[in-house]
Amino acid sequence: MAKTDIKYLTTNRVEVRQKKYCRFKKMGIKYIDYKDPEFLKKFLNEQGKLLPRRITGNSMKFQRKVAQAVKKARQMAILPFVTDLLK
What is the binding site for other proteins (CB under 8 A)? Answer: 23, 27-31, 33-36, 38-39, 72, 74-81, 83
Measure the CA dihedral 48/54/59/60, to 10°. 70
For residue 72, the minimal CB distance to other proteins (Å) is: 7
Residue 25 or residue 52: which is nearer to other proteins going by CB?
25
Closest CA to 45 of 10, 80, 1: 80
Q: How far is the CB of 65 from other proteins (least distance, A)?
A: 10
Residue 81, C-beta contacts closer than 8 angstroms, at least 6 positions apart:
48, 74
Give the N- to C-terminal CA distance of the chain in Å, as an integer: 50
- Closest contact distance (angstroms) between CB of 84 and other proteins is 13
35 vs 64, which CB is nearer to other proteins? Answer: 35
When the beta carbons of 9 and 66 are compared against other proteins, the nearer one is: 66
